[in-house]
Structure 1
């Protein structure tokens, strides 16, 4: 019986610790995200899945550069000069997306992790360019900021 209580206490402590790591929701950050620098555009990455099956994180690339990791229930962004971009995971497996980014433009990439059955392991990541922007922003409202994933940051977080 004591072992069961200790396990329960450990699970509760872990949940509290993880909740403390969660960033603020997109809906509360919209006014605090810095403007896009002149000549640049912005790319948001977000993953709506919050289930443990999708818990494994993979590195994401923009062209040849690793820019961060996907995280279930979270988002982050990177700013890049106007140009053509290919977004995929670190090993270029799965399906990525290609698009043009104009100066001042914001693009949204939805990341979905595929399960490898009952193991809980994650297979390929699939990515989808989401348009119109209002659709992506609505999907992101309750997602948590995962700024530690990328070089760009929201000031104060």
Structure 2
């Protein structure tokens, strides 16, 4: 009886952890639907390639505007006029990342959870295009494509 209860508890815990992960099409499935950049624009990908801290899924802000969420195994992108940016995520503390984009440039911003006092903290860091593209292939799209 105890063994059955333990198995059920483990299965329930696993279901809670997995349910927090991003669902949606993989990058390769939508790649042909991703529009080309317009003149003067830059593209910023936000992605999270880990399930650590799956329950922690704060909003990602770009220059104060919510543009998506930090979802485990998920990614999204936004197109903005090239310029100066401040990305942020907040749980018990706010973590920020400043960066600059040039026209036609694509930036990749990784989010990841680290230990906090009461809640995990979501950190943001720039990632190389090579590493980001390798990770994107396994991640689920959590954003919206134009016209969809």
TM-score by length of 2: 0.77
2:99: which partner in 1? 99
Task: Give 1:137 deviation, angstroms.
Answer: 0.6
* Cα distance per residue 1:55-112 (max 9 Å; x no partner): 2210111112111111000001111111100111157934321111111111000000
1:142: which partner in 2? 138
State the superposition RMSD in angstroms: 3.2
2:124: which partner in 1? 127
1:154: which partner in 2? 145
* Cα distance per residue 1:31-63 (max 9 Å; x no partner): 221112222111100001124x33221011111
Distance 1:155 1:84 in 2: 24
CA contact (8 A) 2:46 2:108 kept: yes
TM-score by length of 1: 0.73
CA contact (8 A) 2:40 2:104 kept: yes
Task: Give 1:23 deviation, angstroms.
Answer: 0.7
Distance 2:41 2:102 in 1: 7
1:109: which partner in 2? 109
1:35 aligned counterpart, secondary structure: coil
In structure 2, the CA distance between the partners of 1:85 and 1:104, relative to structure 1 (3 Å rule), is same
2:113 aligned counterpart, secondary structure: strand
Task: Give 1:156 deviation, angstroms.
Answer: 7.2
Gaps of 5+ in 1: 148-152
